[in-house]
Structure 1
Amino acid sequence: MLVSAPEFKQAHIVVVGDVMLDRYWSGLAGRISPEAPVPVVRVKDIEDRIGGAGNVALNIAKLGGQVTLLGVIGDDAEGQILQKLLEAEGVACDFVVEPNMRSICKLRIMAQHQQLLRLDFEETPLPVSKEALLARLAQYLPKSDAVVFSDYGKGTLAHVSEYIAHARQAGVKVLVDPKGVDYGRYAQADIITPNLSELQAVVGACGDENSLIERGRSLLKRHQIETLLLTRGEAGMTLIQDIHVHSLPAQAKDVFDVTGAGDTVIAVMALGVAIGKTLHDAMYLANLAGGIVVGKLGTSTVSLQELMRATHSERDSQYGVVSEDELAQIIAKAKTNGERIIMTNGCFDLLHAGHVTYLEQARALGDRLIVAVNSDASVRQLKGNARPINSLQQRMVVLAALACVDWVVSFEEETPERLYCRLLPDVIVKGGDYRPEQVAGGDCVIKAGGEVKILQFVDGQSTTSMIKKARGEE
């Protein structure tokens, strides 16, 4: 899938939920205590991070979105630290301050980059004023593209159904990271994002994929929710709707810490929805972002640069060799981004320096180079039964490995005329002594506003001469 660079700065999002401070005490554990059989950690570093719903807002801000965070804190040092950290990162905070409660703080004891112990400082359920929180939400809804309800079960969203109703009335998209087993509280949300264990706690254990999808759809229908985005760990993600189902494989190469990964996923989904991306494109970006963040220690975020590097890396690895249908979609996306598409074709049986020079010259004419390759059967029609020397798959893999080539596709016919007329690249490139009007498919491309370019082959370089030399015929 090819997804253009997102303009997340246009997004305005409200995040509502349980906010908390994540505190880390880190050091070395080199001995066991003589007082009890526990490791002794000599603390070297103390770090405060943003947790809970604050981490969702932080992810949005890190990716360039405009975000306001609503929640509840106590009138204490932890609450002040949390708000200061958030505002320093560009998150606008409008908290309800409850003087008689304690701000939630989770203290993690770390040694050699491993978590040994977590201590939770909290008094839940939180004493939340529904009216105070609803008044704040109503203030921001008219200028928001989406609202995220990040439920950690601490009490901030005890009246979430009423908050969702107000958001729906305002015409704002609603995304929910749910908690618990009562999903009726999230009725009429646009998107919910449980993980697999959370979903199965509600619908029951699912023995196979069909059961999972059917129970997911039943849940959506029961609560009038449009979309379920299911995060499945090493199995990736699945988007379930009334009719459509779409899955993506996990992108993480090394899983170091899953803390906060769900926050990142819903943050990126909200950004995608807010700027009008399709759910499939938003899911694709969220999947990449989740793969990045689980490779980091502790509650972490993803930068726009990291996300776009992952986008290009994943696209390049998956889309060197593509099908014709995939290529049609890729070209449409690339043209939408203003990219100039160059296309050429050939047998490319034994790749030599002349081929490489020719392909590099072709790529220099635009932004993307596509190489269409004759099938084995069509090579035999053109070259005789002794050819090709290398199979279609081998030829395509070698071409896709060239830095100047973006995508490689095959065709069955003797000429690529039908393929060119379907795909309509901006430029067809052909090597040799052809005239533009002689190039198969050139008339279709020219009528569509494209052009045909003729390049000269490098003298003394040919596959036939290579074969003759290998056979000792030269």
Structure 2
Amino acid sequence: MEILQDKELVRKKYIKLTDDAKNNFKNREYEEAEKQSSEACKLIKSNDDAIIIYGRAVLSRICKEFKSHELNVLVIGDIMLDRAFRGLPATDLAVGRHNTVTNNIYMLKNKESETNTLGGVGYLGYAFLPMVENVIMIGTIGSDCEGHILKEICDGKRGYDGTILKNENDINKKIKFLPVIGDKTITTTKIYFFDESITEKGDKAIRFDREDIKIMREEQNLLKDKIIKAFDSIIEEHKLQDNSGINKSTISCIVIDDYEKGTITEDIIEYISTTAVENNIKVYVDPKYEWDKFKKCDIEAIIPNRKECKEGLKTELPVQASLDEYPQISEFVIKMDSDGAYFFDKGKSRHHVKPYGENDDASDVGCGTIFDAYFITSMLCNNSLPESVFLANYAAGLMTMKQLGQIVTPEDIIKNVTHEVDYFIKNKYLIESLLIK
């Protein structure tokens, strides 16, 4: 009888905690809701109600707190222009068809169906904008119209959708862009055509790449000096020194986004790493396939996708031996596309965060970049590694519902988690074992 009474007391306490947590979440008191749902989870294990409210509260709390941190992020890497066109196959009557034209001819839907947006490291800088105080960016462009468009977007003369603004004040936040211009360099441009007759949203594209990596690499020595000069000017501008004489900086972190187009070389990485150590700045890296250039560098976290990890470490899912090859990298996080993400704790144990959603056919364009921005910002705000990956994985999932050139904002996450259930249930074990304090 006494045991039954104890169980009833526990049940009543659990119900009160979850009800209070739901009310606090509704009133945007996320931290209090997180604490109450955490206590409820400890009372009755694997109970979905408490798990769901805890998941909603922790993601909302992190997004809300971004605004209280004045972060300055410096991003360096290969910048690109993403050009998107949307339309439908033309009828034979609508166009004159020459004998040499054997494939379909497409026609744009309207003027608004053509957009120019930031790509590569430019898109990463844009993804950071809603979360941090300032974004500073260094990237290589050519003296061509595509490079000019990129600069106009960053300078606020165009919107981030590439449209020309009537008033410069129409754009709220600008990226401070230090363009490195190569005399022969062609501005890397990704051209997407979305055939809206294939799917309702037109989310599958034909892509054309406008670039010449050979020319970029021929100019690397000249470009390297220009990149280092731009980098040094930013470091000097943001340098501080405390009473002990230790160098500090108002730069919160440096993010290296390497697409192996020619901007990021081993010399530049070593120079950035050395300077960052001297000024107590954390370095994050989204690599491509050549990882040897990172072995001598102090890196807070490396954030590859599945293919980059397989090429860089010669294994899809790293083991102790492969991680030990990079002793100066503190954290390993692997973006696994539709399989979610993996991260490794200090003991090198692997943890899996299951994906948001179930649509394997969803477009993954931009998802990795959104993941990077949310993961890094969360870490800079002193959230734990599991919390930061959990948030970034959810943000990347929301990106599958966006179009090319759009981003996921903290407000998007706070709005969506209000109704989210599946993501938290799928990650129940992770929440109970790693997130609940």
- State the aligned residue count: 324
* Map of 1:267 onto structure 2: 373
Instruction: Report the alpha carbon displacement of residue 60 of structure 1 after superposing the two structures with TM.
Output: 0.2
Match of residue 350, structure 2, among 245, 249, 259: 245
**Residues 220 and 40 of structure 1: is their aligned pair in 2 closer, same or farther, counting only changes over 3 Å?**
farther
Q: Distance between the aligned counterparts of 2:81 and 2:270, measured in 1?
A: 26
Instruction: Determine if contact 1:292/1:302 at 8 Å carries over to the other structure.
Output: yes
**Match in the other structure for 2:147:** 79
Aligned partners of 2:386, 2:205: CA distance in 1, in Å? 38
- Counterpart of 1:277 (choices 383, 387, 392) is 383
User: Per residue, is there more strand in 1 or in 2?
Assistant: 1
What is the CA distance between 1:15 and its match in structure 2? 0.4
Instruction: From the superposition, tell whether residues 239 and 313 of structure 1 become closer, same or farther in structure 2 (CA, over 3 Å).
Output: farther
| Aligned counterpart, 1:124 | 213
Tell me the distance in 1 between the aligned counterparts of 2:311 and 2:204.
26
Asked if 1:39 is matched to 2:104, the reply is: yes
Q: CA 1:229–1:94 in 2, change beyond 3 Å: closer, same or farther?
A: same
Task: State the alpha-carbon separation in 2 of the partners of residues 321 and 119 from structure 1.
Answer: 38
Return the index of the structure with the highest Cα Rg: 1
- Counterpart amino acid of 2:354? P
State whether residues 355 and 423 of structure 2, in contact with CA within 8 Å, keep that contact through their aligned partners in structure 1: no
Structure 2 counterpart of 1:137, from 231, 250, 253: 231
In structure 2, the residue matched to 1:219 is 323
TM-score by length of 2: 0.67
Q: In the superposition, relative to structure 1, how do residues 220 and 135 fare at CA in structure 2: closer, same or farther (>3 Å)?
A: farther
2-structure distance, mates of 1:305, 1:226: 30
Q: Which amino acid aligns with 1:164?
A: S
Does structure 1 residue 104 correspond to structure 2 residue 188? yes
Residues 295-318 of structure 1, C-alpha deviations (whole Å, 9 max, x = no match): 223243111211222444447973
Cα deviation 1:166-195 (Å, max 9, x = unaligned): 222221111111012334336321111111
Deviations 1:74-109 (A, max 9, x none): 222211211222333521111122333221112122
Sort the Cα spacing of 1:140 and 1:284 in 2 relative to 1 into closer, same or farther, 3 A: farther
| Higher RCO (Cα < 8 Å, 6 or more apart) | 2
In the alignment, is the contact (CA less than 8 A) between 1:252 and 1:294 conserved in 2? no
Aligned pair in 2 of structure 1 residues 321, 31: CA closer, same or farther (>3 Å)? closer
Structure 2 portions without partners, runs of 5+:
1-54, 157-172, 197-201, 236-248
Kept in 1, the 8 Å contact 2:337–2:364? The answer is: no
Written as runs of structure 1 = structure 2, the 5 A alignment for 1:340-355 is none
* Residue 273 of structure 2: aligned partner: 164
Aligned AA (1:202): G
What's the offset of the Cα at 1:63?
3.2
Greater shift, 1-10 or 59-68, is seen at 1-10
Aligned to 1:180: 289
**Aligned residues of 2:141 and 2:186 also touching (Cα < 8 A):** yes
- 8 Å CA contact retained: 1:83, 1:93: yes
Q: Does 1:228 align with 2:293?
A: no
Identify the match of residue 27 of structure 1 among 87, 101, 105: 87
Given candidates 146, 150, 154, the residue that maps to 2:261 is 154
Deviation at residue 225 of structure 1 after TM alignment:
1.2
Partner Cα distance (1:264, 1:328) in 2 = 23
- Per-residue deviation at 1:329? 6.7
1:286 matched to 2:380? The reply is: no
- Give the equivalent residue in structure 1 for 2:303: 193
SS at match of 1:247: strand
**Native 8 Å contact 1:58 1:86 kept in 2:** no
Identity of aligned residues (%): 22
Distance 1:231 1:23 in 2: 25
Question: What TM-score do you get using the length of structure 1 for normalisation?
Answer: 0.62
Q: RMSD value over aligned CA atoms?
A: 2.9
Q: Using the alignment, how far apart are the partners of 2:380 and 2:364 within structure 1?
A: 25
Describe how 1:415-454 pairs up with structure 2 within 5 A: none
Contact 2:203 2:363 in 1 (8 A): no
Residue 224 of structure 1: how far off its partner (Å): 2.3
Partner secondary structure for residue 222 of structure 1: coil
Given the superposition, is the C-alpha separation of residues 272 and 317 from structure 1 closer, same or farther in structure 2, using an over 3 Å criterion?
closer
Mean CA deviation greater in 147-156 or 274-283: 274-283
Structure 1 residues 14-72: Cα deviation after superposition (integer angstroms, max 9, x where no partner): 00000010111221115586644422111233210110000100000033442111111
The answer for unaligned runs of 5 or more in structure 1 is 207-211, 333-474
Shift in CA distance, 22/322, structure 1 to aligned 2, threshold 3 Å: closer
